[in-house]
Every structure is written in structure tokens, then in C-alpha cells.
Structure 1
Amino acid sequence: MVTHLLLLGSTLLSPAQDTTVIRGLNAVRVTADQAPTLDGRLDDAIWATAPAATEFVQRGPDPGRPATQRTEARVLYDNSAIYVGMRMYDTQPDSIAAQLTRRDVSSGYSDWVHVGIDSRHDRRTAFRFAVNPRGVKQDVFHFDDTNEDRSWDAVWDVATATDSLGWTAEFRIPLSQLRFSPGAGPQTWGINFARDIARRGETSFWAPTLPSVNGLVSRFGELRGLSGLSSPRRLELQPYSLARLSRAPGDEGNPFYRQNDPGASVGADLKYGITSDFTLTATVNPDFGQVEADPAQVN
């Protein structure tokens, strides 16, 4: 699938052959009352104050050539979150592929945009957030440059909109979902943006990520201008409640027969960030209702 192209490594080249210039983008700090409204339309005046990442380069089908459609990405931030606004221009807006699927489902025929953030700036690990025009979300944790963990699920928000120019996406990524070193001084993170156009089989990146050069996170550009970032409290609590009712036919004359067998249970999942690298995960009264039992076998 087109979306999978973001994840592939390729043939190793010697460092002497790698002459890629690292691209940079400045983030703009905003106050709480200046933060954009998350409606996907990018009509908040604050977006115009942020420089745009443009000139995306194809990974395929024509590696190294300019993307066939213009894309712009801007970054804002405040004390609690990173905001990313992306405008995907399209000369054929009626042909934008927008399939509705479940979260984290990458199969199907759909356009996508991706935001990859290397908040440690180690060029090895990154958090990726993606959305299609229907608002379907994906999130992936990348490690060892090109490996991935698709089971990672973060708490973040995104909204999309479609208009005569193409489509837009507006992300809000809480700082609590990222890992970084807090401090008042300036910071530089790694960042990259990608776009998939399904009808063209095209994937393009802001910081070029060509199939002829090995690496994914190591190819990221730089997000500059971050300062005054404090480490937020990373506490997530997800409670659940479950009610059940079993009904079965039986012998009314049997004193042990119960036609209706009701029941209920409650529990919670908890995650607490002890440090930027260690997270405590706990479950109280886990719900095994969705766990499939192993089929019985006789040896």
C-alpha cells in the first residue's frame, strides 16, 4: 500500500555518498488564548505567523522529483501541546481518496498525511501521527531508525476538512505523549512530514527520504525555535465498566436452572510517566472479555 512506503528502508550507501542537506523549520510559540481552534480549517490568524514547510520530494513513483501536488506544513506550540497545520493542495479535489476505516488500519485506498516527531533528537526514535481526509487516525512509534511499533496508541486530536483547493488537517499533540528533555533553553527536535496520494501511487516527504538512501528517522529535518518546555505530568487513567446478561433455555423444574444470569464488573488501565524514558503501566481488574481463548487440543 502507499502508506507503507513511509516505513521502508533501502540499500545502504556509504556516508561519503550521502550529501543530503538537513532542512529546518521554525516553530512559533503561542499563548493559551492564541492556540488554534481544532476544526481542521486552518482559518485561525495565528497560522499565518508560522513559516511553512514546502517543496516536498517524491519517494515514489519518481524518486527525487518534486511532488506533483503542493503541500504546506506549519508548527505552533504552547506549554501543553504541539500544533501542526497541513494544507494539501490538489488540482483534482474531487479525486481525493478518503476511505473510512477503523483507527490504525492502513489498508485500503486513501490519501494520508504523516507527521513524524523525533523529540529526543537522537535520529533513532520518533513518534508518528497520521490522518486521512475522513479523519481516520494512525499512530506509530519508530525505533532503531527504521523499525516500528504499531501497537503504540497515544492520546491526541486531529480534525480535517475538504474544500475546493484540496484538503487540510489540524493536529494537536500533547507534550505528555512525547519524550524530551525539559528546559528553558532552546531545543531542536527532529521532524518530517509526508503525504500519500492514492490515485497517483505517490508518496512525498518534506525532508527527502529516498529509496536509494537507507534510513527513516535519520533522514528527518529539524524543528527549531522550541524553548521553555516543561515536563508535563504523564498520567492516563482509562476506566471501564462491563454489564452482561446470559439467557439460556433449560428445565423449569430444575431448582438450579436460571434463565437469566446477569453480571457486571469495573476496572481501569493506568499509565504514569516516572521519567522521560520509563512509564509505569498497571491494570486493575482487567477485562478479558475480548480475549480469544486458545482452542482445546488433545495430544
Structure 2
Amino acid sequence: KTEKTYELQLLNSEIIIDGKLNDLGWVDVEELSDFMSINYGLKQIPSKKTKVKIACDNKNIYVGVKLFDDSKKITFKSGSYDDFIDTFDLNSDYFIIEIDSDHDHQTSYAFAVNSSNVKSDYLVYDDDLIDDNWNAEWISEVFVDSSGWSIEYEIPIDIFRYSKGGSLTWGLNLIRYIKRHNEYMAWVVLPEEKVGIVSQYGHLKNVNFQQKKTFNIKPYFAYDNEEYEDQYYPYLLDENNGDISGLDFSGGQDTYSLSQSNNKIGFDINYHPNSFSVLDLTYKPDFGQINQDASEVNNTAYETYYEEKRSFFIENSLFFTNSSHNNILFL
């Protein structure tokens, strides 16, 4: 196959993330547009044109995407962050960028945005397995005009794990979906006769970021108070043997009360001494740190499964899900 490559460029002026792609910083950035439509494994010319520009500064990677279309026919769908099944797949028009920053041809970070600016992210690991528990902090904005819609991404470099060195090469793929045509198009079309996803990517070249240390601490505090009060009649005791002989209704009711409070303090510490190693520490991780799970009526014979959302277990979730790491020591 012919290897696809794209040169990452350094921005010469600031990018404002508003989805409009009209900042001066984008002017000199080379664009790529050689997408192919995927129809039953066959490569075809896409029904609509897509143009992408990728650039960086010393903190972030910026991606500008112009998705040409009839604005009246774009499929929009609002939804919750990371709800890929109900908001993205077969439900709206969307775009995905996948980056193999370690260039191991096994693992990549994916960032999806749909036409309503709903975001979703996930990891690809072992070349073709998906971990959608992974979450990251990044920004996107969408703008719609008569020529279609556009996206601007701002993705912090700290998200990625990559080797130290000079000019690096990362893996890259870009995917677009148009719902009304049920049309998938990609920069690199994955051949049906080959197994794998990440190993088939094109290349993002000229990646050169300074190594830096980062330290983050996320404390949490939870307080709850439980109060209970009840009234009761005391027992009557037999004077001879001390056994209970009944209830004493002569003196009215006694009152029993209980007040109990509980303080929970915990924290997560995340330390990156460099771009290819990380130290994660958690103290008393608690589900009070996360958003409440959506209510669900389950009439099946099986228990409802709720995905892990605590940040310590999501940051490097492959450690807990990947069978190749089954000899982990927990302290």
C-alpha cells in the first residue's frame, strides 16, 4: 500500500476555539482532503468533501475540520458526553480523529465530535479492541453555515504518552460519517483482508514536543448525616425472675433517637515525570466523586452493569482490562 503521511506544523498565531476556522493561525497550515468512502469494503469517491488541518503549539494539538454538506440535510443529535451508541453511531453526522502517539501500532487515543458538538473519547488497544471507559479533558466547538459544518479541536499534549526524542512520527487516522447516506469515509481505509486497526494507520510526522513534568491532585470531601427517632413503650419486668411480662402503658412512651455523621476525605494524585511514564495514586476512591449513573429499569434476569467512572481506574484503564497485564501487584 502507499503510506499516507501528514506533517504537523507549529502555529504562528493563536487559535480561538469557536468552530469557524477563520483564525490567521490556520492560513499557512497544510490541509489534507484525500478521504475515501467505504462501501462494503470497496473504496469509492466520497459523496461530500472533507478538509482537515492539524497544527500545534507547546501545549496543545489543534485540529480544524471542514465537512462540506447541505446544511439543511445534516443530521443533528444532542446527547450526553461519551454516549457514543445512542448519540453518534447511526444517529448523527460525526467526525473522529485517532492518534497512535506511542507509535507502537497497538494503541491509539480517539476523539469524536458530532454535528451537535457532543463529544466522545475512547482508547483502541491490542490493535483492534475498544475501551470506551477512558476519558480525557479536551475542547471542541462546532459551527454550521450554508457550506456545511466545521469543527475545531484543542487537545492537550499531556493526554498523550509518547517516547522522548527529537522529531517523532505518530500514527494517525481520520473518520467521517454521514448518517443520511449511512456513509463512512476515512483518510486511511482499513483493508478487509488484514486484521487490526491501529497497525494500518497513516503517519503524522514532525512531532516535536518538549518533555515536561506535570502534577495534579484531585481532592474530594463528602459529608452525610443520619438521624433516627422513634417512640416506644418500656417493658414490664417480673419482680421475681426479671423476665419480660409485657409492656408498661402507665407512664407514656419513651423516645429513642440516634444521630450519626460520617466524613469522607480522599484524593487522586497524578504525576507525569515525563511523556512516557506516569504515577497514579488514589486514597479512598469513592463513587461520590462521579456523576450519578442514569436510572434504568431492568426487567431481565441479569444484573445491571455500570461502567467504571472513578478517575484512578479510568486514567490507565488498560491496566485493569487488558489480559496482558494480569500480573499486577495492588498495594
Secondary structure in 2 aligned to 1:231? coil
Of residues 214-223 and 64-73 in structure 1, the stretch that sits farther from structure 2 once superposed is 214-223
TM superposition shift of 1:74: 0.6
The one-letter code sitting in structure 1 at the alignment partner of 2:150 is T
TM superposition shift of 1:121: 1.9
Distance 1:246 1:59 in 2: 59
1:92-137 deviations in whole A, cap 9, x for unaligned? x122222122221112311111111111222222111111122211
TM superposition shift of 1:209: 2.0
Q: Residue 188 of structure 1: which of 151, 154, 169 is its match?
A: 169
Which residue of 2 is the match for residue 97 of structure 1? 75
TM superposition shift of 1:277: 4.2
8 Å Cα contact 1:176/1:231 also seen in 2: no
The one-letter code sitting in structure 1 at the alignment partner of 2:141 is A
TM superposition shift of 1:243: 4.5
TM superposition shift of 1:226: 2.6
Is 1:159–2:137 an aligned residue pair? no
The one-letter code sitting in structure 2 at the alignment partner of 1:285 is K
TM superposition shift of 1:236: 3.1
Which residue of 1 is the match for residue 118 of structure 2? 136
Q: Residues 130 and 232 from structure 1, CA distance in 2 versus in 1: closer, same or farther, beyond 3 angstroms?
A: farther
Is 1:232–2:212 an aligned residue pair? yes
TM-score normalised according to structure 1 size:
0.80
8 Å Cα contact 2:38/2:185 also seen in 1: yes
Q: Residues 79 and 231 from structure 1, CA distance in 2 versus in 1: closer, same or farther, beyond 3 angstroms?
A: same
Distance 2:125 2:168 in 1: 21
8 Å Cα contact 1:125/1:217 also seen in 2: yes
Which residue of 2 is the match for residue 271 of structure 1? 270
Q: Residues 264 and 63 from structure 1, CA distance in 2 versus in 1: closer, same or farther, beyond 3 angstroms?
A: farther
8 Å Cα contact 2:105/2:171 also seen in 1: yes
The one-letter code sitting in structure 1 at the alignment partner of 2:134 is W
Which residue of 1 is the match for residue 5 of structure 2? 24
Which residue of 1 is the match for residue 34 of structure 2? 55
Distance 1:214 1:96 in 2: 33
8 Å Cα contact 2:64/2:152 also seen in 1: yes
8 Å Cα contact 2:96/2:111 also seen in 1: yes
Secondary structure in 2 aligned to 1:124? coil
8 Å Cα contact 1:26/1:50 also seen in 2: no
8 Å Cα contact 1:59/1:209 also seen in 2: no
Q: Which runs of 5+ in 2 are unaligned?
A: 233-252, 294-302, 304-331
Q: Residues 248 and 98 from structure 1, CA distance in 2 versus in 1: closer, same or farther, beyond 3 angstroms?
A: farther
Over the aligned positions, Cα root-mean-square deviation in angstroms equals 2.6
Distance 2:277 2:153 in 1: 26
TM superposition shift of 1:212: 4.0
Distance 1:56 1:165 in 2: 18
Secondary structure in 1 aligned to 2:15? coil
Alignment length, in residue pairs? 268
The one-letter code sitting in structure 2 at the alignment partner of 1:257 is S
Q: Residues 203 and 274 from structure 1, CA distance in 2 versus in 1: closer, same or farther, beyond 3 angstroms?
A: same
Is 1:197–2:197 an aligned residue pair? no
Is 1:110–2:88 an aligned residue pair? no
Structure number having the greater strand percentage: 2
Distance 1:85 1:25 in 2: 14
1:266-293 deviations in whole A, cap 9, x for unaligned? 432222234544432222332244799x
The one-letter code sitting in structure 1 at the alignment partner of 2:111 is F
The one-letter code sitting in structure 2 at the alignment partner of 1:219 is Q
Distance 1:232 1:138 in 2: 27
Distance 1:173 1:160 in 2: 15
Distance 1:70 1:243 in 2: 54
Distance 2:44 2:274 in 1: 42
1:140-160 deviations in whole A, cap 9, x for unaligned? 111221122211112211111
Q: Larger relative contact order (C-alpha < 8 A, sep ≥ 6)? A: 1
Which residue of 2 is the match for residue 85 of structure 1? 64
TM-score normalised according to structure 2 size:
0.73
TM superposition shift of 1:76: 0.7
8 Å Cα contact 1:243/1:265 also seen in 2: yes
Distance 2:38 2:194 in 1: 11
8 Å Cα contact 1:59/1:210 also seen in 2: no
Distance 1:240 1:96 in 2: 42
Which residue of 2 is the match for residue 12 of structure 1? none
Distance 1:161 1:239 in 2: 36
TM superposition shift of 1:61: 5.0
1:57-93 deviations in whole A, cap 9, x for unaligned? 12235630022111111111111111111111113x1
